[in-house]
Amino acid sequence: MKPKLGSLCAVAGIGMAVFGLVHAAGEEVPPAPNGIELPNDYKDWRMIGTAHRTDNHSLRVILGNGTAVTAARTGKTDPWPEGTMLGKLVWKDRTHPQWPDATVPGKLNHVEFMIRDSRKFPATGGWGFARWVGMEQKPYGDDASFAQECFGCHQAAKATYHVFTVPAELP
């Protein structure tokens, strides 16, 4: 019986591993209309910066994948290297419940990404744009043309390769 039990356990193990992969790959969250998939580990990326926008009352934290963080910490963002992935997590701002002069994150508004791949995204400055809205992570945009809207806004940051994020100073 032992080998049989062993085989069953192995099959169960593989099954769980496959389920884990499927879940970890974020397949429950639909891709953006331009085909970009939600990076499944973005919440574990390291911190690059933060911002408070008073025009739309939102607080942001900018995280980056390994390539982005290495570039940011060594000052090699001129230009950001191929493979860079920047993730911006955006919350509606609200007053801190115990400190009236502090603004802190309220409801999650959306998460958005810039993915550096010059060959894949020549029409938008070499960046792939994608956004997922709210806690349900609904892909933003009706069709692939939504990225032109992103790129249009990011023209204001043309001098910094269309990236608004300035890496925060770190020791």
| By the rule CB under 8 A, 14 interacts with a copy of itself | no
| By the rule CB under 8 A, 44 interacts with a copy of itself | yes
Q: Considering only residues 61, 67, 70, 161, which one is a binding residue for a copy of itself as defined by CB under 8 A?
A: 61
Site for a copy of itself in 121-140 (CB under 8 A): 132, 135-137
| By the rule CB under 8 A, 47 interacts with a copy of itself | yes
The values of phi and psi at residue 112, to 5°, are: -140, 155
Query: Judged by CB under 8 A, which stretch of 7-15, 17-25, 47-55, 76-84 contacts a copy of itself?
Result: 47-55
Q: Considering only residues 108, 117, 151, 161, which one is a binding residue for a copy of itself as defined by CB under 8 A?
A: 108
- Closest by CA to 161, choosing from 130, 120, 116, 131, is 116
Quick one: tokens of 109?
Answer: 């508004």
Q: Considering only residues 70, 91, 120, 161, which one is a binding residue for a copy of itself as defined by CB under 8 A?
A: 91
Q: How many CA atoms lie within 13 A of 19 on its CB side?
A: 6
> What is the maximal distance between C-alpha atoms in the chain?
69
- For residue 115, give every residue at least 6 positions away whose Cβ sits within 8 Å of its Cβ, in sequence order, or none: 36, 84, 85, 86, 121, 127, 128, 129, 130
**Minimum CB distance to a copy of itself, residue 10 (Å):** 29
The site for a copy of itself, by CB under 8 A, has a size of 45
